[in-house]
Chains A and B, each alone.
Chain A
Amino acid sequence: MSFPIKFRPTLLVLIFGTVAIALASVALAYQANLIPASRLINPDDLVKILQSAKSEKPLMIQVGSHVLYSQAHIPSSEFIGPASSESGLQSLRKRVESLPRNKFIVLYCGCCPWSHCPNVKPADDALKAMGFTNVKVLYISNNFGADWVEKGYPIAKGD
């Protein structure tokens, strides 16, 4: 099927534009920077919640690497697999599927500088899509070592 010459430029624009937008979408999909501030929680605020006798304790889920989790993690947090992988996302969905949708959940990673973390945004998006309304993502600016462990916040080791 040949297109009339006058439509070819428009067709080229549409094809190239679609490919370019698809590439940009892939790049943006993992951008932790795009998580709105209202969905973030700072380490010191989370520590206050954990140490308070009155506050509701969240379900904490580490969505990064197991090797990092084994070295140090927030006590009582669970490891489900890197959320940058489909298997990690499936594990996350399976873990939370039976929970009430207003359950307080905190997601965290800390593998890399915030702007480069491939795990927190996919995890947050997955929970949002499942209808969870009370989810916070722990804002770790540099990495878990610098922004949690070295600040003297509570940790646990191993599995």
Chain B
Amino acid sequence: MLKKGFLRGLALIAVVAGLYFMARHHGGPADTRGTSIGKESLAPDFSLPDLAGQKLDLLSYRGKVVLLDFWATWCDPCREEIPQFVELQNKYSDRGLQIIGVSMDDGPEPVREFYQRFKMNYPVVMGNAQTGELYGGVLGLPIAFLIGRDGRISAKHIGATDISVLEKEIVNLLQSKAGLSRPGS
């Protein structure tokens, strides 16, 4: 009797949990997939406050491979990507990868709470409309720019990105020495 009741309970949980995950991950209209665009333009410089109020200048990261991620705490695909970015930062930081998050939240409070909860291990700055316009208009999230050691945009990913694709691009850039001493850069 006890066993039957327990099994019934488990079956009910399994059904409802299945509905829950279907609802969370049902694609509906196709989600935007990342689009790799080879750009050679210099990534626009900015100076924005991080979560401690200190200014972060993008230019100071010249020489590193930078993954610049525009995101927000309310953006579901962003929340799914960030743990993967934390892993990438751990894996490749000693080879010169620097991930920088640009939060497009309307204020820093939810971002600070998110930062702690997700144990983010890279700097996050508070973006604004001007920053978005510098990067061609950030009119949907997430959008990520991969920037080479020479400060030039190597790829732009719109929407949630296949992390294996992104990792390959990062490794290629980390291994590449091209552009480090490009005239005019």
Do A27 and B75 contact each other (CB < 8 Å), given the known contacts A67-B132, A115-B31? no
Q: Are B6 and A12 in contact (CB under 8 A)?
A: yes
Q: Other than the known A20-B13, A66-B106, what 5 A-B pairs have Cβ atoms closer than 8 Å?
A: A9-B8, A17-B9, A20-B17, A33-B26, A143-B159
Q: Check: B127 CB closer than 8 A to any chain A CB.
A: yes
Among B43-51, B116-124, B137-145, B163-171, the one that faces the other chain is B137-145
Q: Check: B74 CB closer than 8 A to any chain A CB.
A: yes
* Chain B residues, Cβ within 8 Å of A1: none
Task: Give the CA-CA distance A75 to B107 in the complex, in Å.
Answer: 25
Binding site for B on A (CB under 8 A): 5-6, 8-10, 12-13, 16-17, 20-21, 23-24, 27-28, 31-33, 65-68, 70-72, 82, 84, 110-116, 118-119, 141-146, 149, 157-158
Q: Check: B158 CB closer than 8 A to any chain A CB.
A: yes
Binding site for A on B (CB under 8 A): 1-2, 4-6, 8-9, 12-13, 16-17, 19-20, 23-24, 26-32, 72, 74-77, 104-106, 127-129, 132-133, 137-141, 158-159
Do A115 and B20 contact each other (CB < 8 Å), given the known contacts A9-B9, A71-B133, A146-B140? no
* Set A10, A23, A116, A141: member contacting B75, Cβ < 8 A: A116
Q: Are B12 and A115 in contact (CB under 8 A)?
A: no
Do A20 and B12 contact each other (CB < 8 Å), given the known contacts A12-B6, A67-B129? yes
Interface centre among A66, A143, A146, A149 (most CB of B within 10 A): A143
Q: Are B74 and A142 in contact (CB under 8 A)?
A: no
Shortest CB–CB separation between residue B164 and chain A, in angstroms?
20
Interface centre among A24, A27, A33, A118 (most CB of B within 10 A): A24
Do A68 and B104 contact each other (CB < 8 Å), given the known contacts A33-B28, A112-B140? yes
Do A9 and B2 contact each other (CB < 8 Å), given the known contacts A33-B26, A113-B32? yes
Q: Are A142 and B17 in contact (CB under 8 A)?
A: no
Task: Give the CA-CA distance A48 to B24 in the complex, in Å.
Answer: 34
Do A145 and B140 contact each other (CB < 8 Å), given the known contacts A33-B28, A111-B74? yes
Q: Are B137 and A72 in contact (CB under 8 A)?
A: yes
* Set B16, B76, B138: member contacting A118, Cβ < 8 A: B76
* Chain A residues, Cβ within 8 Å of B5: 8-10, 12-13
* Chain B residues, Cβ within 8 Å of A31: 23
